[in-house]
Amino acid sequence: MTTATATLTQALEANLSRLSLSASPSPSTRPYLPQWQAPPPTQHEVEWADILTVDLSLYETDKPKLIETVKTALQRDGFFYVVGHGIDVEELKRQFAIGEVAFDQVSREEKEAHRAQIKEKGSFMGYKLQNYWEIKDGVRDRIEHYNFYNNSIDPVTRHPTALRPFVPEVKDFLYTMRHTVLNKVLNLIDGVLGLDEGYLWDLHQNAQGEMGDDLFRYMIYDPLTGEESKKTNGVMLNGHTDFNSISTLISQPITALQVLMPDNVWRYVKHKDGAFVINIGDQLSFMSGGVLKGTMHRVVSPPEDQRTLRRLGVFHFAHFRNHIPLDLLPSKKVHDEGHIVFEGEVPTTNEWEEMRVKSYGTSEFIKGKEYDIEVIAGLQVRHYH
């Protein structure tokens, strides 16, 4: 894609975004929801990860500086914060409130009726209920999530009854995330890799309107029991890399997310009000030949003053378009500094996603003291304890 074409495409997308947002229900006409009450931040001192911050309010005026920040972050530890994105904090809180509906206003029977076909189809669409994954030594997870896929949100009747009034808001919010945050982040990564601006966005959504099947997730962790926590050493979700291209988490106050930093020490990700936490997934890391780092991260029991609280999360997992081979990108930097990841048959974007979804937390692993290993498409995939 040429720079001129990319500029024209971005202008059209901005106009479409404004039209979409102006057509969205105003706060006064949306279904009533009690406001989400954010839990208080921890008062305990913990070891925080040194994660860089990208201020998107500088996107038009100081893009080279942002590209340098993203370059440092993604080649060092694979994570960065995004602020200055322009999405109102009340809209972010509204998403947490909708997430509470998914978990607290849907019966167990209806959740079962919307259970995701994880092992059968490699899909998270619907509910992933508790006790599906093994953490360690027979301890099962206490994690529940509800998942929407970008290309399959409609019709609203495919979702639980209590969620249906809010499906249009979910659809609008995901659109905003894609066009307000993801598009700009991908353009900055184009700059890091020396690609024409708009190249990576085209792999997520092309001029013909074909889009990646992004996953939008509400996720909640119930606390481990004391005995469970003892067996898992406090780990609630094993250390892993994400399966997709770019992952975005709305920052929230429960201190539980840890990143394995370059010195091989797990450190906590600190909460920033109104910020997004962004990291690289497997697929973009593979296509960069490892130049961009897909970093291990995990979820552990929070500090003592938060340990009895439930941890509610809102996530956007961006996906490349289907059927794209996970070959190296046409970037001089990638070919000079990276390496070929797949020696044999190269899986496509959707094949890798399906394989990882099907096997995660359920496959037979090669057991190790620090981490277990499974082999997918010839690669050794680590799962840290």
Query: What is the number of helices (H) and of strands (E) in the chain?
Result: 12, 16
Q: Is the pTM of this model over 0.85?
A: yes
Residue 155 preceded by cis peptide, ω within 30: yes
What whole-number distance in Å separates Cα of residue 182 and Cα of residue 219?
Answer: 20
Q: Cβ atoms within 10 A of the Cβ of 66, count? A: 22
SS3 128: strand
The 8 Å CB, 24+ separation contacts for 110-116 are 110/160, 110/161, 111/160, 114/146, 114/159, 114/160, 116/147
User: Of 15-29, 186-200, 237-251, 287-301, which gets the smallest average pLDDT?
Assistant: 15-29
pLDDT at position 363 is: 61
Average pLDDT over residues 5-34: 55
Q: Cβ atoms within 10 A of the Cβ of 354, count? A: 16
Average pLDDT over residues 26-37: 85
Going by pLDDT thresholds of 50, 70 and 90, the confidence category of residue 198 is: very high
What whole-number distance in Å separates Cα of residue 194 and Cα of residue 278?
Answer: 21
286: CB partners within 8 A, 6+ apart = 326, 341, 342, 352
pLDDT at 385 over 90: no
Average pLDDT over residues 269-275: 97
Q: Cα 18 from chain centroid?
A: 25
What whole-number distance in Å separates Cα of residue 223 and Cα of residue 149?
Answer: 27
What whole-number distance in Å separates Cα of residue 205 and Cα of residue 321?
Answer: 7
User: Of 49-63, 179-193, 227-241, which gets the smallest average pLDDT?
Assistant: 227-241
Average pLDDT over residues 278-292: 96
Instruction: Report percent pLDDT > 90 for the chain.
Output: 80
What whole-number distance in Å separates Cα of residue 321 and Cα of residue 147?
Answer: 18
pLDDT at position 25 is: 59
Instruction: List the structure tokens of 368.
Output: 């190790």
pLDDT tens sequence across 324-380: 999 999 999 999 999 999 988 999 999 999 988 987 766 666 566 666 677 677 666
pLDDT at position 383 is: 60
Largest CA distance in the chain: 60
User: Of 264-268, 299-303, 342-346, which gets the smallest average pLDDT?
Assistant: 342-346
pLDDT at position 344 is: 85
Average pLDDT over residues 98-118: 97
pLDDT at 148 over 90: yes
What is the pLDDT of the chain when averaged over all its residues? 90
pLDDT at position 366 is: 59
Going by pLDDT thresholds of 50, 70 and 90, the confidence category of residue 14 is: very low
SS3 367: coil
pLDDT at 2 over 60: no
Q: Which residue type is seen at 330?
A: P
Token pair 């190249």 is found at 199
> Are the C-beta atoms of 174 and 188 separated by less than 8 Å?
no
Kindly provide the residue ranges of all beta strands, DSSP E only, lying in 190-275, ordered along the sequence: 215-221, 235-240, 246-250, 257-260, 266-268
61: CB partners within 8 A, 6+ apart = none
- Which of the residue ranges 50-64, 130-144, 353-367 has the most confident prediction, judged by mean pLDDT? 50-64
Give CA separation, 233 vs 19, 34, 148, 307, in Å: 50, 36, 32, 14
> Are the C-beta atoms of 48 and 270 separated by less than 8 Å?
yes
Angle, alpha carbons 95-163-126 (nearest 5°): 95
Going by pLDDT thresholds of 50, 70 and 90, the confidence category of residue 4 is: very low
What whole-number distance in Å separates Cα of residue 373 and Cα of residue 171?
Answer: 37
Instruction: Decide which of 14 and 90 is more confident.
Output: 90
Whats the size of the chain, residue-wise?
385
> Are the C-beta atoms of 126 and 146 separated by less than 8 Å?
yes
> Are the C-beta atoms of 193 and 333 separated by less than 8 Å?
yes
Instruction: Decide which of 119 and 57 is more confident.
Output: 57
Going by pLDDT thresholds of 50, 70 and 90, the confidence category of residue 1 is: very low
> Are the C-beta atoms of 142 and 221 separated by less than 8 Å?
yes
